[in-house]
């Protein structure tokens, strides 16, 4: 098995590892989560210009009613016409940043994340996107996305940019994750999903 540094710097090694590490996660048991609206996000991995693993995020448009201006992965609510949550993630990524579904190969799922405020049960879909960012050439939908952010996975794994806080809501405590990538504050569900991915890369 490749070591931690190799997985953060070698996309082929990371993909081989994730195909095994992303076994089917257990379904949620929280009744509130089970009653939430099903949704999916795409966690898009691709090769940086130097061949190392990169992750694509979006900054949400400030015109949106919910989570405006926040950093997120492409995604949204499952539509009736979506055959699967993978199809939901691909459709949303195409709508938001013009990512062609044919470019994306599925690698597996991460555990579902329940968002209390918006009442979504988000199932993260991890995908390998063919090409560098220049080759992918994202086409932003300005109604939904203000900016595409391309981040090296090794930079996101730096403990210096990560912290957690314990928040209480409705009498229940939970950890909230934060990553400060340059000027971008990644937190909430997106940070939790990123943390889940990084936890699957052995130290």
Q: Return the residue matching tokens 């989560």.
A: 33
Q: Using one digit for the tens of pLDDT, what is the confidence trace for 16-25?
A: 999 999 977 7
> Is 11 within 8 Å of 5 (Cβ atoms)?
no
Beta strand spans in 53-196 (E):
53-60, 71-72, 75-77, 104-109, 113-115, 120-129, 145-152, 162-169, 172-181, 184-187
Of 14-23, 114-123, 194-203, minimum mean pLDDT range? 114-123
pLDDT digit string (tens) for 38-97? 899 999 999 999 999 999 999 988 776 666 679 999 999 999 899 999 999 999 999 999
Question: What CATH superfamily classification does 4-25+32-199 receive?
Answer: Nucleoside Triphosphate Pyrophosphohydrolase (3.90.79.10)
Query: Rounded to an integer, what distance in angstroms lies between the CA atom of residue 160 and that of residue 149?
Result: 19
pLDDT of residue 33: 61
Pairwise CA distance, residues 16 & 1, whole Å: 10
In this structure, the strands spanning 172-181 and 75-77 are: unpaired
The kind and range of the H/E element at 45 are: strand 37-47
Residue 17: name the closest of 27, 33, 5 by CA.
5
Q: How far is CA 182 from CA 12, 151, 162, 185, in A?
A: 26, 10, 12, 8
7 burial via Cβ count (<10 Å: 0-12, 13-18, 19+): buried
pLDDT confidence of residue 172: 74
Give the pTM: 0.92
* pLDDT score of 5: 87
CA distances from 60 to 26, 57, 81, 146, 179 (A): 29, 9, 24, 6, 17
- Which runs of consecutive H residues, i.e. helices, occur in 48-199? 85-97, 133-136, 153-156, 188-199
Domain regions of the chain by residue span = 4-25+32-199
Kindly tell me if the per-residue pLDDT of 36 is higher than 90: no
Q: Is the pLDDT of residue 169 over 80?
A: no
């Amino acid at each position: 098995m490749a070591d931690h540094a190799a997985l953060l710097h070698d996309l082929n090694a990371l993909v081989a590892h994730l195909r095994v590490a992303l076994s089917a996660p257990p379904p949620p048991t929280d009744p509130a989560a089970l009653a939430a609206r099903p949704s999916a996000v795409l966690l898009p991995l691709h090769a940086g210009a130097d061949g190392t693993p990169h992750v694509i995020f979006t900054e949400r448009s400030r015109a949106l009613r919910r989570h405006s201006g926040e950093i997120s992965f492409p995604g949204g609510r499952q539509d009736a016409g979506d055959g699967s949550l993978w199809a939901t993630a691909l459709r949303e990524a195409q709508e938001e940043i013009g990512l062609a579904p044919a470019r994306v190969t599925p690698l597996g799922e991460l555990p579902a994340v329940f968002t209390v405020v918006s009442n979504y049960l988000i199932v993260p879909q991890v995908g390998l996107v063919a090409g560098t960012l220049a080759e992918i050439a994202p086409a932003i939908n300005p109604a939904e996305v203000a900016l595409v952010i391309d981040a090296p996975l090794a930079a996101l794994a730096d403990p210096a940019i990560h912290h957690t806080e314990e928040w209480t809501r409705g009498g229940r405590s939970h950890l909230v994750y934060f990553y400060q990538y340059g000027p971008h504050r990644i937190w909430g569900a997106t940070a939790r999903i990123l943390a889940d991915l990084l936890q699957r890369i052995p130290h």
